[in-house]
Structure 1
Amino acid sequence: MKIYAAIDLYKGQVVRLRQGKLEALTVYSSDPLQTAQLWEDQGADGLHIVDLEGAFEGKPKQLSVLEKIAQQTHLPIQYGGGLRTEEDVFKAIENGAQRVVIGSRLLTDPSFLEKISGAVGSERIVAAIDAKDGQILMEGWTKESTYRMETFVKILEKSGAGFLLYTNVLTDGTLEGPDIQGTKKLVENSALPVFASGGIGCLRDVEELQKIKGLYGAILGKSLYEKKISIQTIKNISG
């Protein structure tokens, strides 16, 4: 199972939200590059960069930060937040993203995924599945879509997604444990590789995720920043 370190950006700072709410924001660093280099030194398999302003406003705002991190680290980067046009997807890739994470636009226009997949290849596309009680959320988790999770996944598979990123919004940023059952169900019912995200708070949570046969990766955020868990420890238990 791959371990990706999350770097959530808001106004140039590294932050974490609780359950996706701006009013529950904690700032951890004013130096995103230094943070990225820290996770690289600790042995992360990749970086998961989220442009929170982009997610809320519908337009990426942190491409220059992405470029700087890509130029000065050697880890694969997946970048998301406000990527709702072909031009913005191409810009993210040009600025160093190995993969792009797309969410809201896929809900309003499923054909967008087909276009992007045809242009850059499905292996570069991570489709975000942000769910609350099985209902898919959009626009920085501020609105409910009309899609249930099971239906949405089937559309993503047919339209050219290369990876799925599953986040149970109710667990995100809580450190209270990931949605093991929801993650397991998704892995078992989809042919695409899945990243688990949200709520990972301790080593036991990681061990429970590792028991899910076929799970591709996990994204750790708050647990790393608050030193509840270390990447080195995870690597040690993984052998």
Structure 2
Amino acid sequence: MNDSNLIELILHASPVVQAVILILLFMSVAVWSVAFAKSNQLRKARRDAEIFEKNFWDTQELTNLYHHVEAVRYQSQGMAIIFAEGFKEFVRLKNQGVQDVSDLMAGTQRAMKVAFSKEAEALEERLSMLATIASSAPYIGLFGTVWGVMHAFQGLSDAQNSTLAAVAPGISEALVATAIGLFAAIPAVIAYNRMTTKTENLLTRYENFAEGFLSILQRQAHTLEQKKD
């Protein structure tokens, strides 16, 4: 089947089937748009995490790193934001006179958890759209096919010559809906699985960094406590 025949089938399909095909084409465009956007977002987030993590472990003074992150906060994301929120809360609690190490760590950890949740939400945004399209597109296409077949047999019952040649065009029109449904669903499934895996790996990296950062702050808090004693 060439392109012209496919377009001709769609143009001669029933209005319901045409509406289904239009919805599925819109879904397909949405899948590719979201897939490219999320791929670029995750690539940038991973690159930023690598750069920040290297700067973090190379720095000798966390205060200077914090000021740098705050200076470019509008450009920062992920690991840098988690660090900044945790360090800011740690310093704020110390300035308020909190000396107990467990209280300092609990407050800092809460601030970092909030920042982590916001970053995770940003990374997972629109992944649910891919999952929805992946699961619903085949059924929408199947609905169009069933409707088209019903319409084809309805026309066959009204025809005087009931032959396969009379019903074949209608069935072909109907099957186009299923094909387009799969065309939308298959890339959605692949993109969803790929993006979900990358997101989970990145979030795991954030969690590991947060644990390491909390350990450093805890050692600093113990050192300050021992000096005061």
User: Fold match, TM over 0.5?
Assistant: no
Larger Rg: 2
Higher relative contact order structure (alpha carbons within 8 Å, sequence separation ≥ 6): 2
Q: Which has the higher strand share?
A: 1
Relative to its length, the structure with more helix (as a share) is 2
**TM-score, normalized by length of structure 1?**
0.22
